[in-house]
Amino acid sequence: MGKQEKIVSMFNDIAGTYDVANRVLSMGIDKSWRNKACNLTFDFYGKEKIEKIVDVACGTGDMIQHWKKIAAENSIEIENIIGIDPSVGMMAEGKKKLPEVEFIEAGAACMPLENDSTDIISISYGIRNVVQRQEAFHEFARVLKKDGLVAISEFTKNEKTNPLDYLTDFYMNKILPVLGGLISKNKEAYTYLPDSIDEFLTTDNLCKELKLAGLEPIHVKAFSMNISTLIIARKI
């Protein structure tokens, strides 16, 4: 079993408890991060009618719910919203919450979508789980319309510069695996999550990779003591 298959298998295993674990582990803060990502992306796109939004590594559909909610609050009409994920188990949970949404089993680097067909692509806390990341960025660029946007929210690796950074590090590496393990009965999965952040590249390198794929970062901002970073890039 390759690395990508192992990651997918792990998410299938924790799918049933993933939403609860996420809320507990982020202390609910991830909701505000997601809201900011949606609001800012809509602001940058500046259109009241949007043909298609694709949420990649959609998991249980959390981000799709935020897109729908923020669109309604801003009187933005979304014609079609699609969730894409290689984990059937995670999407099965998503379908329970969002029976009206189309979910497609696929990886980020190979999506069954037409060229230049999508207004906005989002990937929230999933890009570090994509093994073929550069290929995925090229795929995003292929699928996006010209001037379309990609919104990436991710836990990013940052230099530790103050005591709070060490506190965050302690929480992610010591407390999160225990709490996540208790909720999901799978400690290995929640040991993988902080490990995957430690192994992940920096925001600067992520921006370089986006540029290589023809996606120009137009907004980069870290939230909540640099735990989460939002990058919005435009297809040029």
* Residues placed in the known binding site for S-adenosyl-L-methionine: 60, 85, 124
Q: Write the CA distances from 142 to 100, 187, 194, integer angstroms.
A: 26, 37, 31
Complete DSSP assignment for 133-186: HHHHHHHHHHHEEEEEEEEEEEE------SHHHHHHHHIIIIIHHHHHHHHHS-
CB–CB of 113/143 below 8 Å? yes
| Whole-angstrom distance, CA of residue 45 vs CA of residue 235 | 11
- Tell which residue, 219, 164, 228, 225, has the closest CA to residue 197: 228
Do β-strands 144-155 and 118-124 pair in parallel, antiparallel, or remain unpaired? parallel
Q: How many angstroms separate the Cα of 156 from the Cα of each of 59, 70, 90? A: 19, 25, 23
Distance CA 117, CA 127 (A): 21
Axis crossing angle, helix 62-73 with helix 29-45, rounded to the nearest 10: 50
Residue list, annotated binding site = 60, 85, 124
107: alpha, beta or left, given left = phi > 0 and alpha = psi -120 to 50? beta
